[in-house]
Chain A
Amino acid sequence: AQTVTQSQPEMSVQEAETVTLSCTYDTSESDYYLFWYKQPPSRQMILVIRQEAYKQQNATENRFSVNFQKAAKSFSLKISDSQLGDAAMYFCAYRTRYGGSQGNLIFGKGTKLSVKP
């Protein structure tokens, strides 16, 4: 079974600085998806960024980028120029490539990010 591990329960960053959130996962599959979701206090889960395992290039979305190390099964999220609105719980998630009931997301325990003004 696949597992997702986030070893940092809490992180803090100064506004405008850069922070990296760690995520490792375990799987025997070769093709899959990885995601970072953001959950602010409003509870709404928001997709931040997505990485397809077959792609070697790291995904980037504006101030958010990932460092995907497939061999090491590592998938870290870098937030540049941190803003107060980035404060939230961040969840790393894994999904098998194929659909059906196996297409559900497997989540890590989350990292609570605080942004200091």
Chain B
Amino acid sequence: SAVISQKPSRDICQRGTSLTIQCQVDSQVTMMFWYRQQPGQSLTLIATANQGSEATYESGFVIDKFPISRPNLTFSTLTVSNMSPEDSSIYLCSVEVFSGRTNEQFFGPGTRLTVL
């Protein structure tokens, strides 16, 4: 298994500012994922972050808006840039761990972002 922490747990930000969310894992992992969960909605993948390479973004998400860093195998950051109220969501970090014959994903507690 993996224990994941995220900082901050929540924040209220002003329009036009940026927020960086940190994700820390208690073990080394290759694959890290960033998801967005808009109010009352399901989770949507923003990007996949591998250590040592550029993040891979899903359709509808761009690096200028959501820059990601992955400096080592236990840490990643997601920045939400030039925020607008539409960015108000929960942002979740997830890691993939080998568990027996299969891979399993574990999630952080999420960061609740409110943009005014």
Chain A residues in the interface with B (C-beta under 8 A): 33, 37, 42-45, 47, 50, 52, 91, 95, 99-101, 103-105, 107-110
Contacts and interface: CB of A to CB of B under 8 A. Distances in A.
B75 interface: no
B107 interface: yes
A104 B45 contact: yes
Name the residue among A44, A99, A104, A108 with the largest chain B CB count within 10 angstroms: A104
A110 B110 CA distance: 17
20 contacts: A33-B102, A33-B103, A42-B109, A43-B109, A43-B110, A44-B107, A45-B43, A47-B104, A52-B102, A91-B42, A95-B103, A99-B31, A99-B96, A100-B31, A103-B103, A105-B33, A105-B45, A105-B105, A108-B42, A109-B41
Interface string B65-92: 0000000000000000000000000101
A57 to B, nearest CB: 15
A20 B105 CA distance: 24
A45 B107 contact: yes
A104 B33 contact: yes
Interface residues of B, number: 23
Contacts of B33: 104-105
B114 interface: no
A50 B102 contact: yes
Contacts of A52: 101-102
Interface in B18-58: 31, 33, 41-45, 48, 56
Interface string B3-23: 000000000000000000000
Contacts of A104: 33, 45, 48
Contacts of A91: 42-43
B11 to A, nearest CB: 14
Contacts of A50: 102, 104
